[in-house]
């Protein structure tokens, strides 16, 4: 392989690959799991509005900054800080690596749970009763051998993908899995909205009741934006270093909050109306 070909393999193939990989990094527990819960617990639309505002102001600005640092610094958080600011800043860059390790430690446990649920879905859940499903989760997560084995399995999958590099691993998987995620969510939304009483959940999510708005709602929405968009840990700095020189940073950066917020809304639509249809509290989704 020529030197030029090797260099190309170290960059994304284009805007689509970068955006899908970046969205894959941003979309996770924050958008799919925590956003529906917090929106349900903190007033629906009263939480949704500040979340959207922070996504397209605060999050967009930080995303653009990190991507720019990565592209200009030609490396991950430590390398970029060293190249742009000197040795002192490279020391601070290691804080981002520590944060990434802590996040991975948490995500890998939840990822292991997802693998367990995937296996249970294949063999068939014993019942759709919430108490039965809760007991199933308790038995799976409380067994050290089962939980640790699932976590190791998840980490092995992550290592397998990363081993194939940017184009053959991260970008390829993002191009396949991200569209699948949208398709599965749409199926869940349609199924949930067909249930009697589900439209009350749609009204709760989109019709603002400002009596439920508070400073806590504002701070919680801001905190979730930081968590959901993976800003501050250096992930987007690393992704920015793999962008080609011809890519428009602003156009790439703005697509991330658009897609991340879209997924958060889809996740909320897949859960909150269903909880209303089941006669459960909105925060129980």
Q: For residue 2, is pLDDT > 80? A: no
Q: How many CB atoms lie within 10 A of CB 254?
A: 16
Q: For residue 168, is pLDDT > 70? A: yes
Alpha carbon distance 125, 191 (integer Å): 18
What is the pTM for the complete model shown?
0.73
- At 23 the pLDDT is 64
Beta strands in 171-272 (DSSP E): none
Residue pair 153/115 in contact by the 8 Å Cβ criterion: yes
Alpha carbon distance 77, 96 (integer Å): 7
Residue pair 246/252 in contact by the 8 Å Cβ criterion: no
**In terms of pLDDT, which residue wins out, 43 or 230?**
43
- At 285 the pLDDT is 58
DSSP helix, strand, coil percent of the chain (3-state; round to 5): 80, 0, 20
- At 261 the pLDDT is 86
pLDDT digits (tens, 9 = 90+) for 131-147: 777 777 777 777 888 88
- At 152 the pLDDT is 92
């Amino acid at each position: 392989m020529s030197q030029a070909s090797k260099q190309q393999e170290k960059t994304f193939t284009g805007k689509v690959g970068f955006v899908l990989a970046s969205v894959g990094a941003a979309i996770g527990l924050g958008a799919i799991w925590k956003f529906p819960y917090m929106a349900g617990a903190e007033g629906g639309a009263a939480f949704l509005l500040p979340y959207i505002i922070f996504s397209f102001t605060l999050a967009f600005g930080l995303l653009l900054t990190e991507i720019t640092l990565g592209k200009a610094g030609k490396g991950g958080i430590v390398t970029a800080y060293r190249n742009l600011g000197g040795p002192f800043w490279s020391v601070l860059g290691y804080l981002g690596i520590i944060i990434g390790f802590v996040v991975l430690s948490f995500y890998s446990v939840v990822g292991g749970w997802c693998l367990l649920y995937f296996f249970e879905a294949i063999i068939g859940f014993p019942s759709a009763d919430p108490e039965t499903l809760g007991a199933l989760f308790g038995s799976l997560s409380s067994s050290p051998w089962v939980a640790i084995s699932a976590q190791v399995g998840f980490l092995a999958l992550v290592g397998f993908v990363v081993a194939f590099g940017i184009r053959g691993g991260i970008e390829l998987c993002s191009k396949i899995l991200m569209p699948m995620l949208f398709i599965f969510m749409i199926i869940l939304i349609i199924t949930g909205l067909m249930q009697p009483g589900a439209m009350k959940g749609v009204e709760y999510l989109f019709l603002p009741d400002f009596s439920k708005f508070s400073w806590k709602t504002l701070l919680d929405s801001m905190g979730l934006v930081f968590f959901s968009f993976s800003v501050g840990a250096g992930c987007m700095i690393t992704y920015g270093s793999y962008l080609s020189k011809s890519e428009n940073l602003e156009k790439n950066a703005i697509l991330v909050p658009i897609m991340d917020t879209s997924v958060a809304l889809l996740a909320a639509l897949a859960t909150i109306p269903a909880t209303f249809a089941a006669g459960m509290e909105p925060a129980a989704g």
